[in-house]
């Protein structure tokens, strides 16, 4: 679940709780009774976190995945790449702060491999 999805889920719960509050019910979210001030803080804080995280992810992708998402250091290393039809994932860890995340790759194009004369390189079918 993305940060945006988490925010939307939390917002939906808060909206339902506020609707009940307008009808005279206490504000209850996930079994916890909240004050109106606590609800305001949660919504604003979650929105800011979501926006900040989205900015970090956009910067990380733009820079080609060369810095830690958490601390910004360059000392990161990736696990082996897991490949599935049209997509791949790779766990990445920062050696400075220990943050761990997963890079997601998608198939965007295909290129034939050609010999020096420009002819596609074909392999023989394996008939084992």
Where are the chain's structural domains?
A: 1-62, 75-107
**Taking Cα atoms as reference points, which of 74, 114, 106 lies closest to residue 90?**
106
Which H or E run contains 22?
helix 3-22
Range with lowest mean pLDDT among 48-62, 68-82, 91-105: 48-62
Token readout for 91 is: 């766990």
Range with lowest mean pLDDT among 1-15, 61-75, 88-102, 106-120: 1-15
Per-residue pLDDT for 126 more than 60?
Answer: no
pTM of the predicted model, to two decimals?
0.54
Predicted confidence at residue 32, as pLDDT, reads 77
Token readout for 80 is: 């082996």
Alpha helices in 26-105 (DSSP H): 36-62
**pLDDT above 70 coverage of the chain, percent:** 81
């Amino acid at each position: 679940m993305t940060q945006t999805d988490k925010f939307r889920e939390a917002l939906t719960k808060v909206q339902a709780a506020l609707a009940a509050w307008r009808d005279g019910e206490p504000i209850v979210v996930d079994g916890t009774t909240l004050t109106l001030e606590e609800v305001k803080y949660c919504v604003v804080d979650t929105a800011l976190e979501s926006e900040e995280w989205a900015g970090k992810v956009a910067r990380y992708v733009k820079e080609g995945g060369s810095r830690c998402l958490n601390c910004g250091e360059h000392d990161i290393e990736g696990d082996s790449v897991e490949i599935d039809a049209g997509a791949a994932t790779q766990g990445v860890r920062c050696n400075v702060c220990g943050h761990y995340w997963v890079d997601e790759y998608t198939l965007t194009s295909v290129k034939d491999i050609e010999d020096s004369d420009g002819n596609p390189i074909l392999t023989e079918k394996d008939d084992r």
